[in-house]
A = this chain, B = another copy of it.
Amino acid sequence: MLVYWLDIIGTAVFAISGVLLAGKLRMDPFGVLVLGVVTAVGGGTIRDMALDNGPVFWVKDPTDLVVAMVTCLLTILLIRQPRRLPKWILPVLDAVGLAVFVGIGVNKAFLAGTSPLIAICMGVLTGVGGGIIRDVLAREIPMILRTEIYATACIIGGIVHATAFYTFRVPLEQASMIGMTVTLVIRLAAIRWHLKLPTFALEDKS
């Protein structure tokens, strides 16, 4: 099943994004492992706690957990010696993981019988959760707070996904693919051309 493999890929790229961020912080390998794994499984963990659907997914089936661990260890081993990474690597990996995880979150919520609104929220939560934890722990400004289109991409992708499935009766797997593609394309375009929505800014009378 295609979604199964996309889940593996999303987990792996988020794990790599955690490892790369950790690489800037001069952590030891096991700290790196923890940060990578938390990034990879964090969003889905919060989703499953909120849905209260039994133990979280990696307790029920450790596949994703093992994928995250192995990916972290391989990444640490393979790019062991300091080398210069182009600056776009981290956002692009994050974009792929984001697109996949929004789709998977929407799917899991629909399979748990929720309404489209809750499904979209679960998608956004799954997509942005891991990256937020990663950035908060690493004391980076969370990507979702930056001006480039980020939450917007997740929300639009989630809405397209839920609408395709719920309104147009597209089968769930195809609806996922459409939604993921929309999220990914918007996010990559935002990275490539520095697309921004007009920001919402207030001044303080301080």
- Which A residues fall within an 8 A CB radius of B? 19-20, 22-35, 45, 48-56, 58-59, 62, 65-66, 76, 79-80, 82-87, 114-115, 117-118, 121, 124, 128, 132, 136-139, 141-142, 144-152, 155, 196-206
Q: State in angstroms the CA–CA spacing of A20 and B170 once bound together.
A: 39
Across the A-B interface, the 4 shortest Cβ-Cβ residue pairs = A23-B202, A28-B197, A30-B152, A30-B151
Q: Given the complex of chains A and B, what is the CA–CA distance between A124 and B69 in angstroms?
A: 14
Cβ contact of A82, chosen from B34, B66, B202, cutoff 8 A: B202
* Cβ B132 vs Cβ A137 within 8 A: yes
Output the nearest chain B residue to A86 by Cβ-Cβ distance: B205
Among the listed B24, B45, B142, B149, which residue makes an inter-chain contact with A202, where contact means beta carbons less than 8 Å apart? B24
Q: Is the CB of B33 within 8 A of A151?
A: yes
Inter-subunit contact B149/A28 (CB<8 Å): yes
This chain: copies in complex:
3
Find chain B residues with CB under 8 A from A121 CB. 58, 65
Complex formed: what's the CA distance from A76 to B206 in Å?
21
**Known contacts A51-B55, A82-B203, then 11 further A-B pairs from the complex at CB < 8 Å, ordered by chain A residue:** A26-B147, A27-B200, A28-B150, A34-B128, A35-B145, A52-B59, A62-B118, A76-B200, A79-B202, A85-B202, A137-B142
Find out whether the CB atom of B50 lies under 8 angstroms from the CB atom of A204.
Answer: no
Q: Which residue of chain B lies nearest to A89 when distances are taken between CB atoms in the complex?
A: B205
Do B200 and A23 have beta carbons less than 8 Å apart?
A: yes
- The residues of B that contact A22 with a CB separation of less than 8 Å are 145, 200
A84 to chain B, nearest CB (A): 4
Tell me whether A85 and B197 are in contact in the complex, defined as CB-CB below 8 angstroms, given that A35-B145, A132-B137 are known contacts.
Answer: no
Question: Which of B59, B84, B145, B202 contacts A205, CB < 8 Å?
Answer: B84
- 27 A-B contacts, Cβ less than 8 Å apart? A22-B145, A23-B201, A24-B201, A24-B202, A26-B200, A27-B147, A28-B147, A28-B199, A29-B197, A29-B198, A29-B200, A31-B145, A33-B151, A34-B144, A35-B145, A51-B55, A65-B117, A65-B121, A79-B202, A82-B202, A84-B203, A84-B205, A85-B202, A85-B204, A87-B206, A137-B144, A137-B145
